[in-house]
Structure 1
Amino acid sequence: MTERFTRWDSADYLETEEDIRLYLEACIEEDPGDGSLIRSALGDIARARNFSALAREVGVTREGLRKALSADGNPSFALVLKMAHALGLGLELKPRAA
């Protein structure tokens, strides 16, 4: 019998606001410092919600949002803030513990 594998997608498991909050917190904590993991997490969250509606709400095309959140993407800070607002998320900057 041949084993069959399916691609694991974290977006499939982001069902509640608590799931999203914990996932985003973990990705922020583990980000290597270049924002790549945070960008990926925002893409996962967007896919878990309605990607097309989110793109319209932040004022970009679906393809533009997908490109900005891709591995090669470089979303502007303004776009990240618009996405956070549209997703019901806040942004908090605070001093790191020493």
Structure 2
Amino acid sequence: MMALETFPYDTAEHLKTPEDIALYIEAVLEDGDPALVADAIEVVARACDMA
């Protein structure tokens, strides 16, 4: 059996516009998980080239 090749996935790479970011935050807030909200803030910061 061949080994499955995987690739890293970074959500921040897919948040290209303010609309993308708004939709992402909206989806995260609908989930209601505080840990996910904290992670989303970090993802949006990376998407906006903020450290």
TM-score (norm 1): 0.46
Higher helix share: 2
Q: Does 1:40 align with 2:39?
A: yes
Q: Which protein has greater RCO, CA pairs closer than 8 Å, 6+ apart?
A: 2
2:32 aligns to what? Answer: 31
Deviation at 1:17, TM superposition (A): 0.5
Name the count of aligned residue pairs: 50
For residues 37 and 43 of structure 2, the distance between their equivalents in structure 1, rounded to whole angstroms, comes to 10
Larger Rg: 1
Deviation at 1:8, TM superposition (A): 1.1
**What is the percent sequence identity of the aligned residues?**
36
Alpha-carbon RMSD across the aligned residues, in angstroms, is 1.3
For residues 31 and 51 of structure 1, the distance between their equivalents in structure 2, rounded to whole angstroms, comes to 25
Output the amino acid matched with 2:50: F
Deviation at 1:3, TM superposition (A): 3.1
Moved over 4 A (4+): none
Deviation at 1:2, TM superposition (A): 3.9
Uncovered stretches (5+) of structure 1, i.e. residues with no partner: 53-98
Output the amino acid matched with 2:47: A
Deviation at 1:45, TM superposition (A): 0.3
